[in-house]
């Protein structure tokens, strides 16, 4: 047993009840699931998930949820994203990125910076996008990329996506550098493919970096090696409430017990209606709905992360 394994075993034997958000700079070549598996081993828990996948070709911000924080994944998945990418014109591939099999090649005669910028600008706003066959979109419970690798190509249903901003930062044909801010579920590969089709020459994505996911940017990210080689990886975690952006309240222990058991409680420090993060010593216990009733704001539980508070209080108060 290595020294690192011994230190982690000692920590686990003493009891570890971790919860938090981990922002990893995903390296190229790994799937998001690969990263999840490595982090599961580092924290000795199966309770690790992500809030939005990244393709193996991509690097950058991958938001991971550890412990009971996995129960807030749906809220973080809704966040907008910022990407920096390179599009290569003149090539179409079956995966819509540079790693795929080349289907068509064309020269770029007739492509000018003016008509290029015009074609790109048409993808600013809300529009319908068809995800690629090689994607994590599921059909009958199976990801399309698995079916595609078996030779079964299924066209995904179109979905509505929004590009809030798209900027061309550099053009050196056949390459185009872009920054895109968009809604969840927007495929950068498909964006490159569709722009290339509009220009009549084809296009694919050559590289991709996710620079931001919701409230988290590359400045918040840590390397995967730093996390997996650390005997105390918990030090890299952020509090689960950090990424949500909801108002935070810390009721007393009795009120917390009542809330997680399904009872409404009064919230004197809540200033408006809406979702609220309910914490104890910074740890996220529940999400609650604040509602004003006869001049008093009451909290009703919406998502309970920590139902066994008695045991949790013992651990937190050691």
Distance CA 166, CA 284 (A): 35
Tokens 């939005």 — which residue? Answer: 52
Give the confidence band of 139 by pLDDT, cuts at 50, 70, 90. low
Residue 95: C-alpha distances to residues 127, 149, 150, 161, 231 (Å): 21, 11, 14, 20, 39
Nearest in space to 88 (alpha carbons), one of 102, 74, 72, 78:
102
Structural domain spans, the chain: 3-77+217-241, 81-213, 246-316
pTM score of the predicted model: 0.87
Tens-digit pLDDT profile for residues 185-199: 999 999 999 999 999
Task: At 257, list the tokens.
Answer: 């017990």
Name the residue with higher pLDDT: 113 or 208: 208
pLDDT at 97 over 80: yes
pLDDT at 151 over 80: no
Residues with Cβ within 8 Å of 133's Cβ and at least 6 positions away in sequence, in order, are 94, 144, 145, 147, 148, 153, 154, 155, 156
Tens-digit pLDDT profile for residues 209-255: 999 999 999 999 999 999 999 999 999 999 999 989 899 999 999 99
Task: At 140, list the tokens.
Answer: 């009958």
Tens-digit pLDDT profile for residues 8-28: 544 443 335 899 999 999 999
Task: At 19, list the tokens.
Answer: 């919860």
* CATH 3.30.2350.10 applies to domain 81-213: yes
Tens-digit pLDDT profile for residues 262-276: 999 999 888 889 999
| Bridge partners of residue 280, in order along the sequence | 283
Task: Give DSSP secondary structure letters for 146-191.
Answer: HHHHTT---PPPPEEEEEEEEEEEEEETTEEEEEEEE-TT--HHHH
Task: At 18, list the tokens.
Answer: 């971790």
- What are the residue ranges of helices labelled H in the chain? 3-14, 32-43, 73-77, 113-121, 144-149, 188-199, 224-228, 253-260, 309-316
What residues act catalytically? 55
Residues 172, 53, 130, 148, CA torsion sign: positive
* pLDDT at position 144: 55
* pLDDT at position 200: 95
Same fold, 3-77+217-241 and 81-213: yes
| Across 138-150, average pLDDT | 54
* pLDDT at position 10: 46
Q: Quick one: 3-77+217-241 is in which CATH superfamily?
A: Pseudouridine synthase (3.30.2350.10)
Tens-digit pLDDT profile for residues 25-64: 999 999 999 999 999 999 999 999 999 899 999 999 999 9
* CATH 2.30.130.10 applies to domain 246-316: yes
């Amino acid at each position: 047993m290595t020294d690192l394994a011994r230190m982690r075993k000692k920590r686990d034997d003493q009891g570890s009840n971790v919860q938090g958000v981990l922002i990893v700079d995903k390296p190229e070549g790994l799937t998001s699931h690969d990263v999840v598996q490595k982090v599961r081993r580092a924290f000795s828990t199966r309770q690790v998930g992500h809030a939005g996948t990244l393709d193996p070709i991509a690097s950058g911000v991958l938001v991971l949820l550890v412990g009971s924080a996995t129960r807030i994944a749906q809220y973080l998945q809704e966040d907008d994203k910022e990407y920096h990418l390179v599009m290569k014109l003149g090539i179409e591939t079956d995966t819509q990125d540079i790693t795929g099999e080349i289907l068509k090649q064309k020269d770029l005669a007739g492509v000018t910076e003016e008509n290029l910028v015009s074609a790109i600008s048409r993808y600013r706003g809300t529009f319908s996008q068809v995800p690629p066959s090689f994607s994590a979109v599921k059909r009958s419970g199976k990801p399309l990329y698995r079916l595609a690798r078996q030779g079964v190509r299924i066209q995904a249903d179109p979905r509505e996506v929004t590009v809030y901003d798209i900027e061309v930062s550099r053009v050196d044909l056949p390459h185009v550098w872009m920054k895109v801010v968009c809604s969840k579920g927007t495929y950068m590969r498909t964006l490159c493919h569709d722009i290339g089709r509009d220009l009549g020459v084809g296009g694919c994505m050559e590289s991709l970096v996710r620079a931001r996911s919701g409230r988290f940017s590359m400045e918040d990210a840590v390397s995967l090696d730093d996390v997996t080689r650390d005997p105390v990886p918990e030090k890299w975690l952020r509090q689960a409430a950090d990424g949500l952006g909801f108002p935070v309240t810390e009721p007393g222990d009795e009120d917390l017990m009542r809330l997680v058991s399904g009872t409404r409680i009064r919230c004197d420090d809540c200033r408006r209606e809406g979702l609220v993060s309910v914490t104890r010593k910074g740890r996220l216990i529940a999400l609650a709905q604040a509602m004003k009733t006869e001049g008093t704001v009451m909290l009703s539980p919406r998502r309970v992360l920590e139902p066994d508070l008695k045991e949790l209080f013992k651990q937190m108060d050691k």
